[in-house]
């Protein structure tokens, strides 16, 4: 019985060594993980979210309370209306004086024409010129009075735009298409700006980070197709992959990849893109076989 166990162990080791020798590189699957955080402060009114859920890009999945923001906006709008009424009164006065100036200029043209024909005196010419000048000064004075009012209205408009931006950011909008990996918040909780809400990643295409030795560099290039295999119940399951990146600097072999004796070897990291059929998971080990 003992001999049988030893024989089986030896066969397993041979099989394992054969498997290792057939693979050109080993690694683990990765995905770009995005942590979505709150962009506003307040209570989470609702959050349509669950781990494993598939979310589309730009999908609205939650809402943070906006009552205070809405009230502040209404207050600013009321203040703006009050200030606009002051500006309207000032501008109406200006309109009256502009009409008076228009009439005075017509009179000035008439008197100047009469003066050329000796039908009017120099005193009349000077009087009408002074009258026109007074109206012009009054218009300039009103414009000066209205300038701070206009500036105040612009300042309120900026504050309203800031609140509009805060209202927009109170909606929890999913930034990328993918699968929810982890959920950090629940509905009715109080959140704050920058507090993580959930983590999401696009798992439709996985990245396998593998390591090649210096002697293998001449056999690989970006865009090259390779065969990626993962363990399954019986044998291996193969996928088509494509090398998307090769490191330009060497590094020591990661401990999880090779044996203790081989950890001192220098290798080059590479990334292989693989379409996911649903079986590939983050952190799953895999091996790469280069085409003969």
Closest to 212 measured CA to CA, from 161, 259, 250, 165: 250
**Distance from C-alpha of 67 to C-alpha of 165, rounded to nearest angstrom:** 14
Instruction: Report mean pLDDT in 10-residue bins for the chain, 292 residues.
Output: 33 39 86 96 96 96 96 94 78 76 85 83 84 80 75 91 96 96 96 97 96 90 95 90 92 60 73 95 95 69
Report how far apart, in Å, the C-alpha atoms of 37 and of each of 48, 59, 81, 134, 192 are: 15, 15, 36, 62, 9
The tokens of 183 are what?
């959920």
- In order of start, what are the domains of the chain with their CATH numbers? 25-31+203-290 (2.40.30.170), 33-66+171-201 (2.40.50.100), 67-168 (1.10.287.2610)
pTM attached to this predicted model: 0.69
Q: What was the pLDDT predicted at 46? A: 96
Instruction: Find out whether 210 and 269 touch, Cβ atoms under 8 Å.
Output: yes
Q: What was the pLDDT predicted at 20? A: 44
Q: What was the pLDDT predicted at 262? A: 55
Instruction: Find out whether 146 and 90 touch, Cβ atoms under 8 Å.
Output: yes
Residue 105's Cβ-count burial label (10 Å; 0-12, 13-18, 19+) is middle
Q: What was the pLDDT predicted at 183? A: 97
Closest to 236 measured CA to CA, from 287, 274, 292: 287
Q: What was the pLDDT predicted at 151? A: 84
């Amino acid at each position: 019985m003992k001999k049988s166990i030893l024989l089986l162990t030896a066969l397993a080791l041979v099989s394992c060594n054969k498997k290792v020798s057939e693979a050109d590189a080993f690694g683990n699957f990765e995905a770009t993980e995005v942590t979505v955080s709150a962009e506003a402060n307040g209570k989470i009114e609702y959050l349509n979210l669950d781990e494993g859920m598939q979310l589309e890009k730009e999908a609205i999945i939650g809402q943070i309370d906006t009552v205070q923001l809405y009230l502040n906006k209404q207050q600013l709008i009321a203040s703006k209306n009050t200030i606009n009424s002051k500006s309207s009164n000032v501008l109406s006065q200006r309109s009256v004086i502009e009409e008076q100036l228009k009439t005075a200029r017509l009179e000035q043209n008439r008197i100047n024409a009469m003066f050329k024909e000796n039908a009017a005196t120099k005193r009349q010419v000077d009087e009408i010129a002074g009258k026109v000048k007074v109206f012009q000064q009054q218009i300039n004075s009103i414009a000066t009075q209205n300038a701070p009012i206009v500036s105040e209205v612009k300042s309120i408009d900026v504050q309203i735009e800031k609140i509009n931006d805060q209202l927009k950011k109170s909606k929890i909008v999913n930034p990328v298409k993918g699968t929810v990996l982890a959920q950090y918040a629940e509905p009715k909780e109080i959140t704050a700006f920058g507090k993580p809400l959930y983590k999401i990643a696009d798992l439709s295409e996985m990245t396998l980070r593998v390591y090649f030795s210096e002697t293998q560099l001449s056999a690989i290039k970006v865009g090259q197709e390779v065969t990626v295999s993962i363990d399954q119940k019986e044998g291996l399951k193969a996928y088509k992959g494509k090398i998307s990146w090769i490191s330009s600097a060497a590094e020591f072999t990661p401990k999880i990849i090779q044996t203790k004796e081989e950890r001192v070897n220098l290798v080059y990291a590479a990334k292989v893109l693989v379409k996911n059929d649903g079986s590939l998971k983050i952190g799953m080990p895999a091996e790469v076989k280069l085409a003969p």
